[in-house]
Amino acid sequence: MPATLWTNARVVTADGSIDRAPQPGALEVLTQDRRIVAVGPGLARAGHTIVDCGGRLLTPAPVDCHTHIVFGGDRAVEFEMRLDGVPYTQIAAEGGGIKASMRATRAMSVDALVAASLPRLDHLLAEGTCTVEIKSGYGLSVAAELTMLRAARALAQARRVRVCTTWLAAHALPPEYEGRPDAYIAEVAIAGLQAAHAEGLVDAVDSFCEGIAFTPAQLAPLYDRAKALGLPVKIHSEQLSHLGGTAFACAYGALSADHLEHATAADAQAMAASGTVAVLLPGAFYALRETVLPPVAAFRAAGVPMALATDCNPGTSPLTSILLTMNMGATLFRMTVAECLLGITAHAARALGLQDVTGRIAPGLAADMALWDVETPAQLVARIGFNPLHARIYQGELVA
């Protein structure tokens, strides 16, 4: 394959700091055979296909490192209940929330789940995203959790996108295991993980560590098994309360701890020590009208990389915009523009263990890039309900 030289762009490499006002033509990018082969000024032109980027902003393609886009049904009725003042925890305790999505998801085949999820995936891709993490967690039986991850793998065939799958059977306790959380972890979360792993369906293992879900003690056997299988782990922790899930997961070298509104400075220290990324999810914070902010200053002080993701799910974050996610990271969490952009690129890739695969414009990495009709990163983050994507470039090819 001939190489392609991407010229006349304002290139944001996301390799370290973010240039506030990158100059057009200061850097060029050479891609070949799906990868970036060189980045620099004045690269040789002979024999290459030249793409004039028209002075536009060229960034690494967004990585959405935390989503639940595969699910059945709709929970807008719960949105109306919350408007009437019913809290999320009460809706969940009364059989709504994750269990409502479980009932709808269990009724669906792989094909039906793919059809239901494709519009959500397409919204993500329309903003340049080239990598999407997809969790199970609405099946809550071995069979239905496997069906969800088969649908996630099928989505990767239906579109030009990299999909990472995450086993999240430990998301909620289904009614048939009421009062028997340890049996659920053994018979569904662990037994199902074995089966899913054997089928090549699992890239990482996750859980919901929360008062309405599971405690660290209940989750330990699952994380031990993940470790024995050589699978990386993540966790939903300290979202609604402080249950200690973050420190627990750090002891397993977790790739990421996600949500973290109630995390402490000690949690930040533990994350720094284990190289765990803080995945912040402002869509859920916004939708639940949370008031406790994640400890961004403590993450900065400890040197914990912060990522941002949509957490796209039918209840607490019905959000399919990575651009709005950045805007919320800035406005709600007071992250800087550079932190927001790193949060959906290099740091999001790290949260998936893909830091050497995608998320930066650097030689050796996949040529996953987004070309935007703006001049500066701040213009990407500042506006609301505005999609300036000019082109999505997945593995060196213009795909949107």
- For the chain, the helix, strand and coil percentages under 3-state DSSP, each to the nearest 5: 35, 20, 45
Least Cβ distance, residue 315 to Fe ion (angstroms): 10
**Residue 64 or 311 having the CB closest to Fe ion:** 311
Neighbours of 123 (CB within 10 A): 18
Here's the x/- map for Fe ion, 298-317, by CB under 5 A: it reads as: -------------x------
Question: Could you say which residues in the range 136-155 bind ligand DI6, by CB under 6 A?
Answer: none
84: three-class secondary structure by DSSP: coil
Here's the x/- map for ligand DI6, 24-63, by CB under 6 A: it reads as: ----------------------------------------
d(CA 111, CA 151): 7
Q: Which stretch binds ligand DI6 (CB under 6 A): 29-37, 96-104, 247-255, 380-388?
A: 96-104
From residue 104, alpha-carbon distances to 74, 135, 141, 144, 172 in Å are 8, 16, 13, 11, 15
**Residue 131 or 166 having the CB closest to ligand DI6:** 166
Residue 355 contacts which entry, ligand DI6, Fe ion, none (Cβ below 5-8 A, type-dependent): none
Least Cβ distance, residue 194 to Fe ion (angstroms): 23
**Residue 214 or 372 having the CB closest to ligand DI6:** 214
Selected binder of ligand DI6 within 315, 329, 343, 377 (CB under 6 A)? 315
Q: Which residues contact 341 (CB under 8 A, 6 or more apart)?
A: 12, 14, 18, 59, 326, 377, 380, 381
d(CA 318, CA 52): 37
Q: Which stretch binds ligand DI6 (CB under 6 A): 108-116, 190-198, 306-314, 362-370?
A: 306-314
Residue 67, both tokens? 């989503």
Among all chains, which residue has been given the structure tokens 């807008």? Answer: 76
User: Closest residue (Cβ) to ligand DI6?
Assistant: 315
Q: Interface with ligand DI6 includes 214 (CB under 6 A)?
A: no
**Residue 203 or 311 having the CB closest to ligand DI6:** 311
Q: Interface with ligand DI6 includes 309 (CB under 6 A)?
A: no
Q: Interface with ligand DI6 includes 313 (CB under 6 A)?
A: yes
Q: Which stretch binds ligand DI6 (CB under 6 A): 95-103, 186-194, 247-255, 374-382?
A: 95-103
Q: Interface with Fe ion includes 133 (CB under 5 A)?
A: no
Q: Which segments of 191-276 are extended strands (E)?
A: 204-209, 234-237, 256-259
Residue 346 contacts which entry, ligand DI6, Fe ion, none (Cβ below 5-8 A, type-dependent): none
Residue whose C-alpha is closest to residue 347's, from 394, 300, 277, 395: 277
Selected binder of ligand DI6 within 163, 284, 346, 393 (CB under 6 A)? 284
Q: Interface with ligand DI6 includes 67 (CB under 6 A)?
A: no
How many residues touch ligand DI6 under the rule CB under 6 A: the total is 14
Residue 391, both tokens? 């082109």
d(CA 72, CA 146): 14
Q: Interface with Fe ion includes 203 (CB under 5 A)?
A: no
* Torsion sign, CA atoms 295, 266, 313, 321: positive
Q: Interface with ligand DI6 includes 236 (CB under 6 A)?
A: yes
Instruction: Determine how β-strand 4-11 pairs with β-strand 27-32.
Output: antiparallel
Query: What angle, 0 to 180 degrees and rounded to 10, lies between the N-to-C axes of helices 142-158 and 110-125?
Result: 50
Q: Interface with ligand DI6 includes 314 (CB under 6 A)?
A: yes
d(CA 149, CA 58): 32
Q: Interface with ligand DI6 includes 318 (CB under 6 A)?
A: no
Residue 97 contacts which entry, Fe ion, ligand DI6, none (Cβ below 5-8 A, type-dependent): ligand DI6
Residues contributing to the site for Fe ion (CB under 5 A): 311
